[in-house]
């Protein structure tokens, strides 16, 4: 029996402090009863082994995303055509979003952090195409270096410093005077 098959929950009619009527619906713990308890600890090791086996696959995905990112940039990010720029930025956001979402799953939290930072940059609407391209290439290059060198985990003492330095370089590009 699935939860969605519950048809007769206990319903209590109530009035909120602000006078709005509402129903409070009490459910039995159908799902708990069905499974007989929580998912046990023992499952974790099995899941972690299964994910480890996917690590090579992850590398293919993330390098493919980096290649796509470069191809998208080569397509030309230009301020002259706002509609085209929006399309390209959306594609780039999607790619950075995917890289952020997967890195930590496969033991590369630094990739997630750098891709997350890139995703935030790509949300800045008034950044010139020139600066945007420089920042995208900077972040993509750092991600590639992390992957090429298999810098797993937090990257030791240098990990936080890499993020800090990347932020500083980003700020320099963001706040430098227009030529």
Partner 1 sequence: MSTVLAAGGPLLAKVDRLRVMVVDDHEETRWVIRTILVAFGVQRICEATGYAEVLKKLHAFQPDLMLVDYQMPEHDGLELTRRLRRNRGDPFIPIVLMTSEATPEVLALARDAGANEFLAKPITPVSLRTRLNAVIVRPRNYISSRRYFGPDRRRRSVRLGGLDRRSPEAGPPPSEDPVERALSEQRHEQSAEALLHDLERGTVA
For the segment 90-149, give every residue that binds partner 1 (CB under 8 A).
97-98, 100-110, 112-113, 116, 134, 137-142, 145-146, 149
Q: Which of 92, 132, 151, 170 binds partner 1 (CB under 8 A)?
A: 151
Supply the DSSP string of 39-94, one letter for each residue: PPTHHHHHHHHHHHTTHHHHHHHHHHHHHHHHHHHHT---TT-HHHHHHHHHHHHH
| CA 151 vs CA 18, 19, 111, 171: distances in Å | 55, 58, 9, 24
DSSP designation for 26: E
Q: Closest approach of Cβ 14 to partner 1, in Å?
A: 9
> What is the spatial distance between Cα 164 and Cα 170, in angstroms, rounded to a whole number?
10
Neighbouring-strand partners of residue 11: 25
Q: Which of 87, 161, 171, 174 binds partner 1 (CB under 8 A)?
A: 161
- Write out the two tokens for 119: 């995703």
Q: If binding is defined by CB under 8 A, does position 21 make contact with partner 1? A: yes
Q: Closest approach of Cβ 57 to partner 1, in Å?
A: 8
Stretch of residues binding partner 1 (CB under 8 A), selected from 74-82, 124-132, 163-171: 163-171
Q: Closest approach of Cβ 177 to partner 1, in Å?
A: 18
Give the Cβ contact number of residue 168 at 10 Å: 9
Count of residues in contact with partner 1, rule CB under 8 A: 80
Site for partner 1 in 33-52 (CB under 8 A): 34-40, 42-44, 46-52
Q: If binding is defined by CB under 8 A, does position 174 make contact with partner 1? A: no
Q: Look at the chain and count its residues.
A: 179
- Write out the two tokens for 91: 């594609």
Q: If binding is defined by CB under 8 A, does position 159 make contact with partner 1? A: yes
Q: If binding is defined by CB under 8 A, does position 87 make contact with partner 1? A: no
Q: If binding is defined by CB under 8 A, does position 86 make contact with partner 1? A: no
Q: Closest approach of Cβ 1 to partner 1, in Å?
A: 9
């Amino acid at each position: 029996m699935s939860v969605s098959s519950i048809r007769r929950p206990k319903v209590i009619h109530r009035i909120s402090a602000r006078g709005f009527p509402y129903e409070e619906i009490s459910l039995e713990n159908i799902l708990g009863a069905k499974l007989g308890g929580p998912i046990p600890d023992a499952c974790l090791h099995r899941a972690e082994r299964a994910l480890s086996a996917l690590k090579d696959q992850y590398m293919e995905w993330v390098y493919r995303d980096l290649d796509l990112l470069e191809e998208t940039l080569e397509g030309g990010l230009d301020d002259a055509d706002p509609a085209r720029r929006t399309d390209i930025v959306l594609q780039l956001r999607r790619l950075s979003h995917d890289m952020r979402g997967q890195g930590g799953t496969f033991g590369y939290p630094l990739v997630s952090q750098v891709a997350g930072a890139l995703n935030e940059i790509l949300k800045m609407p008034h950044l010139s195409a020139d600066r945007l391209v420089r920042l995208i290439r900077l972040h993509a290059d750092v991600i590639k270096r992390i992957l090429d060198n298999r810098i797993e985990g937090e990257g030791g003492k240098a990990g936080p410093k890499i993020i800090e330095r990347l932020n500083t370089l980003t700020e320099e590009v963001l706040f430098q005077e227009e030529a």
